[in-house]
Structure 1
Amino acid sequence: MIRKLYPILLLSLALTSCSEDHDSDYENIDLTERINAGGETTIFSTTTNAFSSPAPNLTAAETDNHFIGDLLFEASFVTAPAQVNPGLGSIYNNSACINCHPRDGRAKHPTNVNSANGLLMRASIFGTDEHGGPVAVPGFGLQIQNRAISGYTPEAEYIVTYTTKTETFADGTTITLRKPDITLTDTYIPLPAGVMLSTRLGTPIFGLGLLEEVPEANITALQDINDADGDGISGKANFVWNPFTHQTELGRFGWKANTASVIVQCAGAYVEDMGITNPIFTLESGHGQTNGGIPGTEPEVSMETLEKVALYCKTLGVPAARNTDKKEVKNGAKLFAQLDCAKCHVPKQVTGNASVAALSNQTFFPYTDLLLHDMGEGLADNRPDFMATGTEWKTRPLWGIGLTNLVNGHTDFLHDGRAKNIEEAILWHGGEAENSKNKYKNLNAKQRSDLLEFINSL
């Protein structure tokens, strides 16, 4: 496999080892192009609305539809019958899209795991379904709903315990990491044996349209499934069933790239998170104590609603990178390449022709290869999802990550929010990223600070 080498990687081959730190290296890295993280969809905002503005290059009609989608995304559903937004439940996790993606950003790891929050539990049993995907748990489905409307019972309550481990840097600095272990209690019927559970937190939704329009060939070209180049990093695409097009397609969205398109991601959230049927998923979630959404009956949201919400998610502007001229940020960019972070968090992507003109032929900087990588036992959920194994996760985009605390009031990262800052997230890396983590642990305090400052500039 031949990997595309971006300028930052070419530069890194000529630089000195991570143990050295020369001021002369700073001026050799030009991050100017990366300021426009979303290409022409980039917005320049450092406010609490940094994730919530429409892309500036939309047409007037697209902008109007974007704002209609915004209202639908923020709409709270209630139980039927009701004049506005009926259909919540019968069992559900939350009542509005925005509640799992606050300010269009990242949900935090909640203090009370059974409150209304952005955390949920995926579930399946051993085997694969007719399309190669996970097998639903009898009586529970593919997601555990821990809330219910009057007259129904939540499928279960979540219960969380924590385990800790300590990481030690080469300079003697230690950090204690905390891992949440979430299990089920008070299930409405006995839970079948062998159920596999996996925690999920809501992720930022800006830039999804750009990621959807990266040509499949560009993504699959980055695969190195058998590690032919011997760098310890493989990467593979997930190919998944698309219930909208009724065919197998490249997975791009979700923590394990188990969803092929933005509209299917939205439709799945409606039915699984809120119990809202739609033209793509016509049966309510769970299937154990619910009969809603009988085939042939009217879905609770229309295809027009799905399309407007999907358009909203596709056309949010991407926040610009910041502080790119600071020497600490430039040095951090150098270290990012030297530690091989950029081999998975690939800085640059391009789109092809898109149905939304604003997303066509854009050069943008999400810092992801959209591939699955084995992240080791420490991060494993041990739950396969199509071609993703129980230790594999999709590379998360890093754009906008430095604005998380400003927008969402926390810095809880990774799929279950266990990492309380970017450094903790790095220290949870294992598997294909084990060498990069160890290189990070061998940096001195100044170098670690510079690397973190670079990531926070994105």
Structure 2
Amino acid sequence: MRRKISVLRRTARVVTMPFTRFPRAPSLARAFLGCTLVLAVYPAHSDDQNPPGLAGIRSDINAKDLARIRGVTEPTGDFSKSEAFELMPGGAGTTKKRPNQDAFSQSSANITFEEEATFKLGNGLFRKVWVSAPSSTQASDGLGPLFNARACQSCHLKDGRGHPPEGAADSTSMFLRLARAADTEEEKRAVADHRALNFPDPVYGSQLQDLAVPGLAGEGRMKIAYEEIPVTLSDGTKLSLRKPTYSVENLGYGPLDPRTTLSPRVTPQMIGLGLVEQIHPADILALADPDDKNGDGISGKVSIVRDGATGELTLGRFGWKAQTPSIREQSADAFAGDIGISTPEVPKSWGDCTEAEAACLAMPVGVQERLGPVEAPPPVMDLVAFYSQNLAVPARRNMDKPNVLAGKKLFYESGCISCHHPKFVTRKDAPNKAQSFQLIWPYSDFLLHDMGEDLADGQQVGVATGSEWRTPPLWGVGLTKRVNGHTFFLHDGRARNLTEAILWHGGEAQAARDTFAGLSAADRQNLIDFLESL
């Protein structure tokens, strides 16, 4: 059983120093004034890869807190019963409402009555259907001109997981990222300095938009061809994996650049995002081992990006390639790329239209002078961000059943937790008390891992190579069918169930995948039962 996490925690050290050394921490002053500030200092995996100010120091806790955190987040070795607080994977914000089709749309259980009203207003804007400009509904116009969806909820179906086009279903909850790697020395410096993630197609931009406002042609349609790949497990069980190939048809503005790569992305579920945002960077940095110094075959690395608001280096933790540092920035990118709505963070009123798409740039936009220079002004972003930060994680189910406990043991002993790290305690100085100092169970390390050539998209995104992906959280994975009516998994939905998703794992996850493939049918089912209890 791999215990990289335990090794890192055992080698953590504690440094104490007077609080006066930190004059720029007014939010902490009330908690620690007159005390000694205790920093949890983890071994930096590589100083040249850590952003300035994020060198593995957790500055929000004292010695007592540190001891508590180390105790409760240590992976368990007792699988005879469930763990304390395991019922509540989202901490005090966990929703205990009956898990039905709205299981991912509940508000955090620990927000205030006033915040509940803010959450509902944000929900209304998340579901808001935007229309093309000009329109009599001036608060709702500005769609496109090129777009993939008319509302946030159209992509994040029931706040859950998207799917590839199946039968008569369209591709609303799945789209193609368009990008090429750096060519020139200037472009390479921009990527190295984290000023660019990659470079868009010169005609079609960074995302293929298949829809357009009246009078304008869409950019094209995503086409998927599947090949069935037979797989035989060690006990003789025969399965089939579907291997997709992607292309674009009906291009409306000429050919794609030959250097442009296509990366399919299904929309991820929305639960627990505010808690993920409040995991202290030191706890993520502590799990990184990009050079595999401990020799366990797992070499996760942090995604370093620039904060869109401040320009400072920080950790990316959202998106399939961990390319986005905050929920607000993720929301703004989606407004611009998916719907074509400008925000203060991304003031692109023509969305992803490029100079080569002159007809798009000639279309009217929805900017109202009385509301400011963008289509979705700051109050809209405040409400949408708050809503996204407070979608609750559902309570666990069946966690004390013998088959689930047996599956949990297999999941841990197979090495799955080397990437799907079970637990964190969020930072104590979180801006909202609802996310402060919560024990959470996302089952992710939020690091980038090489998943092998079979899952590679060939598209570099910042520090992420074409075969690297962020470990997706597993909380709520067992409710996907109930909420979204399907069981398609992985970044492109190629896996039709959890078993297929595991069997597609390669690269750093090859050993864990092979262990799963070598289990008996009963043991494999127990492991799946554990995942479906999350």
70-79 or 114-123: bigger deviation: 114-123
The 1:61–1:9 alpha-carbon spacing in structure 2 relative to 1, beyond 3 Å, is: closer
CA distance in 1, matches of 2:241, 2:144: 36
69-78 or 235-244: bigger deviation: 235-244
Correspondence list, 1:160-309, <5 A: 160-187=224-251, 188-283=253-348, 284-287=351-354, 288-289=356-357, 290-291=360-361, 298-309=373-384
Match of 1:138 among 202, 221, 229: 202
Structure 1's unaligned 5+ residue stretches are 13-24
The 3-state SS of whatever aligns with 1:264 is: helix
The 3-state SS of whatever aligns with 1:198 is: strand
Match of 1:86 among 141, 156, 162: 141
Offset at residue 286 of structure 1 (A): 2.6
For normalisation by structure 2, the TM-score amounts to 0.80
* Residue in 2 that maps onto 1:68: 121
CA distance in 2, matches of 1:118, 1:246: 30
105-114 or 245-254: bigger deviation: 105-114
1:43 and 2:86 are equivalent in the alignment = no
**Contact 1:114–1:157 (CA under 8 A) maintained in structure 2:** no
Offset at residue 114 of structure 1 (A): 8.5
The 3-state SS of whatever aligns with 1:420 is: coil
- Opposite residue 242 of structure 2, the aligned amino acid is R
CA distance in 2, matches of 1:383, 1:8: 34
Offset at residue 3 of structure 1 (A): 2.9
**Contact 1:31–1:330 (CA under 8 A) maintained in structure 2:** no
- Opposite residue 477 of structure 2, the aligned amino acid is I
CA distance in 2, matches of 1:142, 1:221: 33
Tell me which structure has the larger Cα radius of gyration: 2
Higher relative contact order, structure no. (Cα contacts within 8 Å, ≥ 6 residues apart): 1
**Contact 1:91–1:146 (CA under 8 A) maintained in structure 2:** yes
**Contact 2:73–2:425 (CA under 8 A) maintained in structure 1:** no
CA distance in 1, matches of 2:134, 2:397: 48
1:95 and 2:150 are equivalent in the alignment = yes
CA distance in 2, matches of 1:133, 1:190: 23
Offset at residue 137 of structure 1 (A): 1.3
Offset at residue 160 of structure 1 (A): 1.3
* Residue in 1 that maps onto 2:453: 377
Offset at residue 316 of structure 1 (A): 1.1
The 3-state SS of whatever aligns with 1:310 is: helix
* Residue in 2 that maps onto 1:34: 86
* Residue in 2 that maps onto 1:20: none
Match of 1:434 among 510, 515, 526: 510
**Contact 2:180–2:460 (CA under 8 A) maintained in structure 1:** no
CA distance in 2, matches of 1:121, 1:448: 33
Root-mean-square deviation (CA, aligned residues, Å) is: 2.0
Offset at residue 26 of structure 1 (A): 5.1
1:123 and 2:178 are equivalent in the alignment = yes
Correspondence list, 1:319-330, <5 A: 319-330=394-405
Offset at residue 33 of structure 1 (A): 2.1
1:148 and 2:212 are equivalent in the alignment = yes
Offset at residue 267 of structure 1 (A): 0.4
* Residue in 1 that maps onto 2:524: 448
How many residues get paired? 445
Query: Over residues 325-361 of structure 1, what are the superposed CA-to-partner deviations in whole Å (9 max), with x where a residue is unaligned?
Result: 1011111110001110011000101111211110011
CA distance in 2, matches of 1:302, 1:341: 43
CA distance in 1, matches of 2:307, 2:165: 31
CA distance in 2, matches of 1:155, 1:48: 33
The 3-state SS of whatever aligns with 1:413 is: coil
* Residue in 2 that maps onto 1:59: 112
For normalisation by structure 1, the TM-score amounts to 0.93
The 1:173–1:153 alpha-carbon spacing in structure 2 relative to 1, beyond 3 Å, is: same
CA distance in 2, matches of 1:385, 1:190: 23
**Contact 2:134–2:366 (CA under 8 A) maintained in structure 1:** no
Offset at residue 10 of structure 1 (A): 5.9
Offset at residue 8 of structure 1 (A): 9.5
The 3-state SS of whatever aligns with 2:204 is: coil
**Contact 1:166–1:174 (CA under 8 A) maintained in structure 2:** yes
Query: Over residues 221-266 of structure 1, what are the superposed CA-to-partner deviations in whole Å (9 max), with x where a residue is unaligned?
Result: 1001110111100101101122222222200100000001000100
Match of 1:317 among 382, 388, 392: 392
CA distance in 2, matches of 1:396, 1:373: 11
**Contact 2:488–2:495 (CA under 8 A) maintained in structure 1:** yes
Offset at residue 159 of structure 1 (A): 1.3
**Contact 1:255–1:415 (CA under 8 A) maintained in structure 2:** yes
* Residue in 2 that maps onto 1:3: 8
Query: Over residues 300-327 of structure 1, what are the superposed CA-to-partner deviations in whole Å (9 max), with x where a residue is unaligned?
Result: 1111101110110101111011111101
**Contact 1:31–1:324 (CA under 8 A) maintained in structure 2:** no
Query: Over residues 354-385 of structure 1, what are the superposed CA-to-partner deviations in whole Å (9 max), with x where a residue is unaligned?
Result: 11110011110000000000000010001010
CA distance in 1, matches of 2:479, 2:506: 25
Offset at residue 124 of structure 1 (A): 0.8
Offset at residue 154 of structure 1 (A): 1.3
- Opposite residue 79 of structure 1, the aligned amino acid is S
**Contact 2:180–2:199 (CA under 8 A) maintained in structure 1:** yes
CA distance in 2, matches of 1:254, 1:4: 27
**Contact 2:332–2:345 (CA under 8 A) maintained in structure 1:** yes
Query: Over residues 428-454 of structure 1, what are the superposed CA-to-partner deviations in whole Å (9 max), with x where a residue is unaligned?
Result: 000000000000011001100110000
